[in-house]
Amino acid sequence: MTTTPDLATLTGEYTIDPAHTTIGFTARHAMVTNVKGKFLDFSGTLHLDGADPSRSTASLDVTMDSIDTGSPDRDGHLKSSDFFKTDEFPKMTFRSTRAESLGGDDYRITGDLTILGTTKPLTIDLEFNGAAKDPFGNERVGFEGKAEIKRSEWGLTWNAALETGGVLVSDKIKLNFDISAIKQG
């Protein structure tokens, strides 16, 4: 694999590669530990403008029934009416509204995140991990990103009080993205 350092050569349309991408999250559980999870079914596109990163865009659609925390019982609860109501709201979406270069390999993308039919702004800080041609001739780019949300802002308010004080599930959720995308055409 050869690395492509010139961002201008990266301009184009990309499709997120689900086999090499992770859309994940972390939530504090019982005030003492973190539970990590991810979504297994999603699709997305990127338009990269290497000469003018502010003209770059991103779109992501996540199938909520694909949630995986390593516990089928917990996954079932998260799909239920207490949380994601996946029968009524099968998708979570993100549509970018702004992109900016922060210098070096750091970028910020802002957009609209829709969960449970509620749309709120989300800002994701991204690090460009590089570009390469894979052994199959695909031009790839990689980004790592992170963001934090308060789940209550999207109507995700279910919780249980603990005898020792505090709650079972934190309001603050950490989102993490490890993205590999393939250039089209």
The larger pLDDT score, comparing residue 7 to residue 167, is at: 7
Residue with tokens 């750091």: 106
Is this structure's pTM higher than 0.85? yes
Domain that holds residue 40: 7-184
Question: What's the chain's average pLDDT?
Answer: 88
Structural domain includes residue 139 = yes
| Tokens standing for residue 113 | 């995140």
User: What's residue 172's pLDDT?
Assistant: 84
Structural domains of the chain, count: 1
Q: Tell the burial category of 3 from Cβ atoms under 10 Å away from its Cβ (0-12, 13-18, 19+).
A: exposed
* pLDDT at residue 72 greater than cutoff 80: yes
38-64 burial by CB neighbour count: b if 16+ within 10 A, else e?
Answer: bbeebebebebbbeebeebbbebbbeb
User: What's residue 5's pLDDT?
Assistant: 45
Structural domain includes residue 1 = no
Q: Residue 42 and residue 1: Cα distance in Å, rounded? A: 26
Structural domain includes residue 2 = no
How many CB atoms within 10 Å of residue 143?
Answer: 23
User: What's residue 32's pLDDT?
Assistant: 61
Structural domain includes residue 67 = yes
- Give the percent of the chain with pLDDT over 90: 66
Structural domain includes residue 17 = yes
Structural domain includes residue 120 = yes
Structural domain includes residue 148 = yes
Structural domain includes residue 93 = yes
* pLDDT at residue 164 greater than cutoff 70: no
* pLDDT at residue 3 greater than cutoff 80: no
User: What's residue 65's pLDDT?
Assistant: 96
- The CATH number of whichever domain residue 75 belongs to comes to 2.40.128.110
* pLDDT at residue 76 greater than cutoff 90: yes
pLDDT digits (tens, 9 = 90+) for 131-153: 999 899 999 999 999 999 998 88
Phi/psi of residue 153, nearest 5 degrees: -70, -15
User: What's residue 169's pLDDT?
Assistant: 66
User: What's residue 157's pLDDT?
Assistant: 73
Tell how far CA 5 is from the center of its chain: 25
